[in-house]
């Protein structure tokens, strides 16, 4: 998960968000924000998304994420 800036050569700077992830997400939801997690493209990112309250995720690798998502939601059927 990262905010990509071509000038930064792919440096992840989500860690620069104060209180990321717990404090930031708590305050965002308390203030009515809808948070999507972008660039969920591998298993590690998918597991992170499952452990936090995001409204949704975005991926460039549906071929990787879809099977994990299906496995996760099948537990609730």
* Number of separate domains in the chain: 1
Indicate the pLDDT class of residue 12, thresholds 50, 70 and 90: low
Query: What is the residue range of 42's domain?
Result: 6-74
Task: Look up tokens 């990262």; give the residue.
Answer: 2
* DSSP assigned state of 76: T
Tens-place pLDDT, residues 25-46: 899 889 999 888 888 999 988 9
- Mean pLDDT to the nearest integer, 48-69: 91
Q: Is residue 32 in a domain?
A: yes
Residues 62 and 33: their CA atoms lie apart, in Å, by: 25
Share of the chain above pLDDT 90, in %: 32
Q: Is residue 53 in a domain?
A: yes
Residues 77 and 21: their CA atoms lie apart, in Å, by: 29
- Mean pLDDT to the nearest integer, 69-75: 88
pTM for the whole thing?
A: 0.69
Residues 53 and 66: their CA atoms lie apart, in Å, by: 19
């Amino acid at each position: 998960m990262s905010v990509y800036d071509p000038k930064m050569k792919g440096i992840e700077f989500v860690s620069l968000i104060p209180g990321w992830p717990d404090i930031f997400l708590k305050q965002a939801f308390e203030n009515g924000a809808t948070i999507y997690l972008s660039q969920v493209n591998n298993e590690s990112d998918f597991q992170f998304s499952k452990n936090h309250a995001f409204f949704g995720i975005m991926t460039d690798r549906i071929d990787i994420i879809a099977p994990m998502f299906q496995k996760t939601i099948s537990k609730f059927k």
